[in-house]
Chain A
């Protein structure tokens, strides 16, 4: 059973309000520099290299992540509330796997 990403967004916001979004996602962030103790070979790199956030299909935040980022990366940023809709969070792994989460927001 995988651990789900944790995301904090307000359920409702006022028009024009700037609100904070907090995200934390469970990932090993394997740097590719660690050695397998038994075989002596490098463990292949496997990190979340990209995080993208869209607000009603409009890109509002994106981050390019490198191996220096710790495991279980915590990312926080601000969005301005303009209209009701969906905020979609997307993390892309080196292997191509994608973690997606959606949060709804109502703007008054």
Chain B
């Protein structure tokens, strides 16, 4: 009995100690939001992943030459005016100069396609153009051409605020996306919200959690050593919590993209961004 009591006492002391130690080394919850450098990417309580980035990573994103994503963008610029498929058309035949025709367009994506009545991302729209108007094969979601083209299109909305519509016909998709966001999943039984709403600014292992704002995609991620799509990032997140990921471009991820974009409403588009 005496041994038992000593043990209990020892444990409670240890518990108190570890709690005290835990609170003493706890890092501040939020990243440094007063840094003048990150001011552009903070709107109200929202901030983009740029804010939790290391300064060195920000340097790469800020210089359009150093940003390796522009290798893909330059490739897409030459693809823009290259005719492909049976119709003998290029992007340029319909849209002209991307800097004019695509300006601001992607800030409202994903959105409802007028004829198809479904929710579509920029990537879906590019492939619709390819299949229906150019009469050629669609690009694979994670191919260099697709990533470059979607970066080129999104880049034309750079620094413009995200403005997606979640009412009307988009409403059911939005609800589906929200449900996904709050749904616990995987072996770790976590929902998106547990990391990106409750714990942003805190660390998960060695990495600072962001709010999960999708404004910078497609993004050049150092870990990937290449440009990657938002849906690839979703797959990574899902795998990290040991859940079965969906495929890129599935309705689940498209609905989730809409929900995330709605969360980011007001933040500037920063594609193509650079992340760790």
Q: For the complex, is B4 an interface residue (Cβ under 8 Å from A)?
A: no
Complex partner residue of B65 from A4, A6, A28, CB under 8 angstroms: A6
Complex partner residue of A6 from B71, B79, B144, B222, CB under 8 angstroms: B71
Alpha-carbon distance A4/B71, docked complex (angstroms)? 7
Stretch of A41-49, A58-66, A70-78, A98-106 contacting B (4+ beta carbons < 8 Å): A70-78
- Cβ contact within 8 Å between A24 and B65: yes
- Cβ contact within 8 Å between A70 and B70: no
Contacts of B79 in A (CB 8 A): 1
Q: How many residues of B contact A (CB 8 A)?
A: 15
Contacts of B97 in A (CB 8 A): none
Alpha-carbon distance A52/B105, docked complex (angstroms)? 42
- Cβ contact within 8 Å between A4 and B222: no
- Cβ contact within 8 Å between A71 and B71: no
- Cβ contact within 8 Å between A24 and B71: yes
- Cβ contact within 8 Å between B225 and A70: yes
Contacts of A29 in B (CB 8 A): 225
- Cβ contact within 8 Å between B225 and A4: no
Contacts of A3 in B (CB 8 A): 71-72, 74-75, 144
Cβ of B228 to closest chain A Cβ, rounded Å: 13
- Cβ contact within 8 Å between B66 and A22: yes
Contacts of A22 in B (CB 8 A): 65-66
Q: For the complex, is A26 an interface residue (Cβ under 8 Å from B)?
A: yes
Alpha-carbon distance A71/B225, docked complex (angstroms)? 6
Q: For the complex, is A8 an interface residue (Cβ under 8 Å from B)?
A: yes
Which A residues from 15 to 45 make CB contacts under 8 A with B? Answer: 22, 24, 26, 28-29
Contacts of A28 in B (CB 8 A): 225
Alpha-carbon distance A69/B102, docked complex (angstroms)? 36
Alpha-carbon distance A28/B82, docked complex (angstroms)? 25
Closest to A71 in B: B225
Q: For the complex, is B78 an interface residue (Cβ under 8 Å from A)?
A: yes
- Cβ contact within 8 Å between B66 and A4: no
Q: For the complex, is B176 an interface residue (Cβ under 8 Å from A)?
A: no
Alpha-carbon distance A29/B225, docked complex (angstroms)? 10
Cβ of A45 to closest chain B Cβ, rounded Å: 15
Closest to B72 in A: A3
Contacts of A8 in B (CB 8 A): 65
- Cβ contact within 8 Å between A74 and B66: yes
**Chain B interface residues (CB < 8 Å from chain A):** 65-66, 68, 70-72, 74-75, 78-79, 144-145, 222, 225-226
**Chain A interface residues (CB < 8 Å from chain B):** 1, 3-4, 6, 8, 22, 24, 26, 28-29, 70-72, 74
15 contacts between A and B (CB under 8 A): A1-B78, A3-B72, A4-B71, A4-B74, A4-B75, A24-B71, A26-B68, A28-B225, A29-B225, A71-B225, A71-B226, A72-B68, A72-B71, A72-B226, A74-B68
